[in-house]
């Protein structure tokens, strides 16, 4: 369940997403999909393309009277910019041969893609490599989020680093916050207010410094990366498995999260910092109370032990490299003349870490929806809920 494909070029007519199989009877709010699309478009440091686009989804199949039919659900998102690119991106016969783009950008898919696919025009590579495609993944993720909400599972994110400027990670916040981040309401309030913040970062002082940093690099024709953290609440024990490498929860998450454009690092729980500490400080000790069952005093494992969700919040940090297209272009070589040239300068984002954090939420939701249906069945929502309740009973009687 929840296997999907996306299609569409960045400046083509539209993006398409098809979810092959979904449980029947899941109510879908189109407004919630559009809300996720809008969240992905925002964020300080985005370029002029986001002033042109105003992403809205059109559902073409798989729904009747707002409910899934279990048949393939297909969606499209129009590219408003298409009207400015028809002469270059027409899928059928072009009226005139457009000028070829031959100076590859370091850090983009340009050169490796041109060599691999034997293309002398970089546009034939960059159009699909572009992170415009992440709008389609965000729409799929918005449906996965609505499915997970049926089970009280919430996927959220915040930005915790821009360039070298850091703000508190979830575990640091939990130690210092004077509000109860374990409460559902306070959790949701914390993340809701981030959607009003220019960088989706909770530390407002640091946000101002981060904005200045983006401005200063952008003024020099440069770009900036950063780190965001995904936090998942309400996950049951038992998604993923220790029995084989390709069934482990972290391998499923890493495979799909690392496939987001420009993501170059992933950390689960204490991750790299944990590597420098003794085991006694890293592992989450086990306690028991008759009322609540097994519990831990900490969450350094980031919610995964032995490839299996352990019932704690999932904590995943993702590092995004700086945007490759630079106004102060880097050294490159013309693919035809083989002479030294400056890399192509296209209109570009200077920083897209807040946007990437929304894509990260969507992709995490998709992986979790795939695993929930793998464990609890997938034909109808009512059947999955029955199986889920029976499993919760098994856990409570353990």
Ligand X SMILES: Cc1cc2nc3c(=O)[nH]c(=O)nc-3n(C[C@H](O)[C@H](O)[C@H](O)COP(=O)(O)O)c2cc1C
Ligand Y SMILES: C=C(O[C@@H]1CC(C(=O)O)=C[C@@H](OP(=O)(O)O)[C@H]1O)C(=O)O
Enumerate binding residues for ligand X (CB under 6 A): 47, 107-109, 129-131, 134, 260-262, 321, 323-325, 348-349, 352, 355-356, 359
46 is in an annotated binding site: yes
- Residue with smaller CB distance to ligand Y, 107 or 271: 107
Q: What is the three-class DSSP state of 61?
A: strand
Phi-psi group of 54: left, alpha or beta (phi > 0 → left; psi -120 to 50 → alpha; rest → beta): beta
Q: What is the footprint of ligand Y within residues 307-366 (CB under 6 A)?
A: 346-349
Q: How far apart are CA 230 and CA 169, in angstroms?
A: 10
Q: Does 261 bind ligand Y (CB under 6 A)?
A: yes
Residue with tokens 């913040």: 197
Q: How far is the CB of 129 from ligand X (least distance, A)?
A: 4
Separation in Å, CA 189 to CA 146, 179, 186: 18, 11, 5
Instruction: Report the b/e string of 106-139 with b at 16+ CB within 10 A.
Output: ebbbbbebbeeeeeeebbbbbbbbbbbbbbbbbb
Work out whether 135 is an interface residue with ligand Y (CB under 6 A).
Answer: yes
DSSP code at position 101: P
Contact 217, 189 (CB under 8 A): no
Closer residue to ligand X, CB minimum distance, 209 or 259: 259
CB neighbour list of residue 132: distance below 8 Å, 6 or more residues apart: 8, 9, 10, 11, 15, 79
**Using CA atoms in the order 77, 83, 85, 88, what is the torsion angle rounded to 10 degrees?**
110
Q: Which of 130, 218, 310, 313 binds ligand Y (CB under 6 A)?
A: 130
Minimum separation from the CB atom of position 327 to ligand Y (A): 12
Identify the three-state secondary structure at position 235: coil
322 labelled binding-site residue? yes
Shortest distance (Å) from residue 394 CB to ligand X: 40
Stretch that binds ligand Y, among 47-55, 277-285, 295-303, 376-384 (CB under 6 A): 47-55
Partner whose footprint covers residue 10, from ligand Y, ligand X, none (CB < 5 to 8 Å by kind): ligand Y
Tell whether residue 219 is among the known ligand binding residues: no
The option from ligand Y, ligand X, none interacting with 260 (CB < 5 to 8 A, set by class) reads ligand X
Q: Is 271 annotated as a binding residue?
A: no
Contact criterion met (CB below 8 Å) for 155 and 228: no
Least distance to ligand X, CB of residue 215, Å? 16
Residue whose CB is less far from ligand X, 247 or 327: 327
The answer to whether 130 is a known ligand-binding residue is yes
Q: Which residue has the tokens 């306690």?
A: 287
The answer to whether residues 302 and 233 touch, using CB atoms and an 8 Å cutoff, is no
Q: Does 132 bind ligand Y (CB under 6 A)?
A: yes
Question: 252 among the known binding-site residues?
Answer: no
Question: Does residue 79 contact residue 313 with C-beta atoms inside 8 Å?
Answer: no
Q: Which does 132 bind (CB under 5 to 8 A by kind): ligand X, ligand Y, none?
A: ligand Y
Q: Given the complex with ligand X, which of 61 and 328 has the nearer CB atom?
A: 328
Q: Based on the shown chain and the rule CB under 6 A, indicate whether residue 301 belongs to the binding site for ligand Y.
A: no
Instruction: Name the one residue in this structure whose structure tokens are 């950008």.
Output: 105
140 near ligand Y (CB under 6 A) = no
Residue 356 binds what, of ligand X, ligand Y, none (CB under 5 to 8 Å, by partner type)? ligand X
> Does 306 appear as a known binding residue?
yes
Q: Which residue has the tokens 């809008």?
A: 38
Q: Which residues of 169-182 are buried (b: 16+ CB within 10 A; e: fewer)?
A: bbbebeeeeeeeee
Q: For residues 214 and 162, is the Cβ–Cβ distance under 8 A?
A: yes
109 binds, among ligand Y, ligand X, none (CB under 5 to 8 A by kind): ligand X
| Angle, helices 353-376/381-396, rounded to nearest 10 degrees | 80
10 binds ligand Y (CB under 6 A): yes
Identity of the residue, 75 or 260, whose beta carbon is nearer to ligand X in the bound complex: 260
**Annotated binding-site residue numbers for FMN:** 128-130, 261-262, 306, 321-325, 347
**Annotated binding-site residue numbers:** 40, 46, 128-130, 261-262, 306, 321-325, 347
- Where does this chain bind ligand Y (CB under 6 A)? 10, 47, 49, 53, 130-132, 134-135, 261, 346-349
**Annotated binding-site residue numbers for NADP(+):** 40, 46
């Amino acid at each position: 369940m929840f296997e999907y494909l996306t299609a569409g070029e960045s400046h083509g007519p539209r993006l398409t997403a098809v979810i092959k199989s979904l449980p029947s009877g899941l109510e879908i709010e189109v407004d919630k999909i559009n809300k996720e699309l809008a969240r992905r478009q925002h964020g300080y440091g985005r370029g002029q393309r986001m002033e042109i686009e105003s992403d809205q989804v059109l559902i073409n199949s798989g729904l009747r009277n707002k409910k899934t039919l279990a048949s393939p659900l297909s969606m499209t998102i129009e590219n408003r910019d298409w009207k400015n690119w028809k002469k270059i991106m027409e899928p059928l016969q072009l009226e005139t041969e457009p000028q070829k783009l031959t100076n590859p950008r370091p850090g983009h898919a340009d050169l490796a893609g041109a060599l691999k696919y034997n293309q002398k025009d970089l546009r034939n590579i960059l159009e699909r490599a572009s992170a415009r495609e992440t709008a389609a993944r965000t729409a799929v993720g918005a449906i996965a989020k609505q499915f997970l909400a049926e089970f009280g599972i919430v996927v959220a994110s915040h930005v915790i680093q821009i360039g070298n400027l850091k703000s508190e990670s979830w575990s640091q916040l939990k130690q210092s916050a004077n509000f109860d981040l374990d409460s559902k309401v306070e959790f949701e309030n914390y993340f809701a207010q981030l959607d009003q913040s220019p960088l989706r970062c909770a530390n407002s002082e640091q946000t101002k410094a981060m904005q200045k940093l983006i401005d200063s690099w952008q003024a020099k024709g440069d770009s900036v990366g950063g780190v965001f953290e995904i936090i998942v609440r309400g996950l049951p024990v038992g998604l993923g498995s220790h029995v084989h490498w390709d069934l482990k929860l972290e391998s499923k998450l890493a495979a799909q999260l690392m496939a987001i454009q420009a993501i170059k690092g992933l950390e689960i729980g204490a991750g790299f910092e944990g590597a420098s500490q003794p085991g006694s400080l890293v592992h989450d000790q086990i306690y028991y109370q008759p009322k609540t069952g097994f519990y831990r005093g900490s969450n350094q494992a980031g919610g995964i032990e032995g490839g299996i969700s352990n019932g704690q919040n999932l904590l995943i940090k993702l590092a995004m490299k700086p945007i490759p297209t630079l106004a102060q272009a880097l050294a490159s070589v013309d693919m035809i003349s083989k002479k030294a040239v400056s890399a192509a300068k296209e209109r570009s984002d200077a920083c897209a870490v807040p946007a990437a954090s929304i894509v990260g939420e969507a992709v995490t939701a998709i992986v979790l929806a795939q695993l929930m249906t793998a464990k609890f069945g997938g034909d109808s929502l009512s059947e999955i809920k029955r199986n889920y309740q029976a499993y919760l009973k098994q856990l409570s009687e353990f």
